[in-house]
Amino acid sequence: MRERRVRFWKRLGAAAVIAMAGAATFWGAIPLAVQFHGGRAGQFLHRHDNPQALRELRTALRLNPERAETYFLLARTHRRLGNLEQVESLLRVAQRLGGDPDRAQRETWMTWAQAGRLREAEPHLSELLMDLREDGAEICAAYVQGYFANFQLAAARRLLDAWQRDFPNDPQAFFMRGYLNQALALWSEAAEAYRRGLELAPSQTQIRVRLAEVLGELGETDVALQQFERCAGELPGDAAVFAAWAKCLARQGRTDQARPVLQRALEIASMHFESLRQLGELELAEGNFAQALPPLQAAASQRPYDATTRKAMGKTLQALGRTAEAQSHLEYAAAAEPPLARMEQQLREVFDRPQDPQLRYEIGSTLLRFGSPPDGAKWLYTALELESDHAAAHQALAAYYGRIGDVQKAAEHQAASERVLSQKAKRDNSG
């Protein structure tokens, strides 16, 4: 009996040793796993594969939620993905966990720049460029995007030139150059930049999508369609890729091919605006009025301000004999045409008068009424970047935020408008 008890305790002791060894191995492996996933995230960031970097960092965070470097890289990844509202809170956590405050400050400046907050960010650009560290391309990308957002194209070009001179093998610089040229309808220059970016980074499908769009504009349809087909294979879950592909097909009159591509886009995202609008317009053009109405109604429900959709809706309802319903849509589209046409001219004028806040205010006001209200608000903010005391811009933003239910921002802009007008009245009275 005594021997059995001894054997039992020996076995129990051996099991405890094995268990402790296993636990030590497990817990020892976690830091290695965190470093592994963090390292992979860094590699994906270097290749500009930001979604994959985000997945790796989320895995690292689950394994160890107390690592400062993970939070810093998460902040950078979200900044690159355009999730700017998350960046500064992640940087604060990184600093609380012992991260470098100077590094976090630099990332904050880049976030301000990318958001278009140039009054806050631009004073720090020289400091950043004098001390690039490992962030040279990051700095250029963030500030170029900020210049884009504020239509400061001369400044954007200057920084792009410096970026490409100092980092000649960075595909992102060529992507940005292509994006700028595409926005300016410089199709050949845009295609050249995108092609160079793809030579450096063949796996960058978003560059390939942009190249396909530009090739379509240049009339190189067969090559464009080949590129779109490849993009659809590489991004099978991206409805926007299929919508762009369908647009290229429809432009060539290949409606029988465009229709299934649009239907595929809507299988991916049933309420994808561009796909719904295109499908409705395609059916309208072919005289399939009953089939055109549902996608147009779905598109209009998302963007009731979109004049193109409203015009197509009006025509469809009119063709179906629903004249009374058609009237409001057609009247809206007709009212929108003159200010939108004037805005196209004003957009060209911004290139020549980038420091004119009143011009930006007028563009923003038009967009609030007849275009995209969120885009209108962005234009109003660019006016305030140039003239922080632009009372009309504050008033327009107060009305916008009031309509969407953001009481705090509405009150802030209303108070700013009243303060500016009060100061102006005092100056007028004293004069």
SS (H, E, C) 130-198: HCCCCCHHHHHHHHHHHHHHCCCHHHHHHHHHHHHHHCCCCHHHHHHHHHHHHHCCCHHHHHHHHHHHH
Examine the pLDDT at 13 and tell me if it is beyond 60: no
As a dihedral over the C-alpha atoms of residue 244, residue 248, residue 249, residue 253, rounded to 10 degrees, the angle is 140
Residue among 230, 173, 237, 224 nearest 203 (CA): 230
Three-state SS for 243-284 is HHHHHHHHHCCCHHHHHHHHHHHHHHCCCCHHHHHHHHHHHH
The rounded distance, in Å, linking the Cα atoms of 188 and 330 is 37
Read off the pLDDT of each residue in 135-159 and give the average, rounded to a whole number: 91
Pick the range with the lowest mean pLDDT from 2-16, 137-151, 277-291, 338-352.
2-16
The rounded distance, in Å, linking the Cα atoms of 11 and 5 is 10
What's the pLDDT tens digit per position in 347-356? 888 888 888 9
Give the pLDDT confidence score for residue 431 in this predicted structure. Answer: 59
Examine the pLDDT at 18 and tell me if it is beyond 90: no
Identity of the residue numbered 343: M
Give the pLDDT confidence score for residue 7 in this predicted structure. Answer: 53
Contacts 24+ apart (CB under 8 A), 330-336: 332/307, 333/307, 333/308, 335/370, 336/307, 336/310, 336/370
Examine the pLDDT at 65 and tell me if it is beyond 80: yes
Give the pLDDT confidence score for residue 32 in this predicted structure. Answer: 85
Average pLDDT across the chain, whole number: 90
Asked if 112 contacts 150 with a C-beta cutoff of 8 angstroms, the reply is no
Examine the pLDDT at 129 and tell me if it is beyond 60: yes
Read off the pLDDT of each residue in 282-300 and give the average, rounded to a whole number: 97
Residue among 393, 323, 333 nearest 358 (CA): 393
Read off the pLDDT of each residue in 194-211 and give the average, rounded to a whole number: 95
What's the pLDDT tens digit per position in 73-114? 999 999 999 999 999 999 999 999 999 999 999 999 999 999
Examine the pLDDT at 5 and tell me if it is beyond 70: no
All domains in the chain, ordered by first residue: 353-431 (1.25.40.10)
Of the pLDDT bands very low, low, confident and very high (cuts 50, 70, 90), residue 3 is: low
pTM: 0.81
Give the pLDDT confidence score for residue 25 in this predicted structure. Answer: 44
Identity of the residue numbered 253: G
Three-state SS for 283-324 is HHHCCCHHHHHHHHHHHHHHCCCCHHHHHHHHHHHHHCCCHH
Burial state string for 225-259 with b = 16 or more CB within 10 A and e = fewer than 16: bebbeebbeebeebbbbbbbbbbbbbeeeeeeebb
Pick the range with the lowest mean pLDDT from 17-21, 114-118, 258-262.
17-21
Give the pLDDT confidence score for residue 154 in this predicted structure. Answer: 85
Give the pLDDT confidence score for residue 17 in this predicted structure. Answer: 41
The rounded distance, in Å, linking the Cα atoms of 38 and 32 is 10
Give the pLDDT confidence score for residue 23 in this predicted structure. Answer: 41
Give the pLDDT confidence score for residue 424 in this predicted structure. Answer: 83
Asked if 48 contacts 204 with a C-beta cutoff of 8 angstroms, the reply is yes
Percent of the chain as helix, strand, coil, to the nearest 5: 85, 0, 15
Asked if 350 contacts 359 with a C-beta cutoff of 8 angstroms, the reply is yes
396 backbone dihedrals φ, ψ, rounded to 5°: -65, -40
Residue 85: Cβ-neighbour burial (10 angstroms; 0-12, 13-18, 19+): exposed
Asked if 224 contacts 232 with a C-beta cutoff of 8 angstroms, the reply is no
Asked if 210 contacts 241 with a C-beta cutoff of 8 angstroms, the reply is no
Pick the range with the lowest mean pLDDT from 17-21, 196-200, 254-258, 283-287.
17-21
pLDDT top residue among 34 and 180: 180
Pick the range with the lowest mean pLDDT from 8-22, 182-196, 265-279, 283-297.
8-22
Rg over alpha carbons for the chain, rounded to the nearest Å, is 28
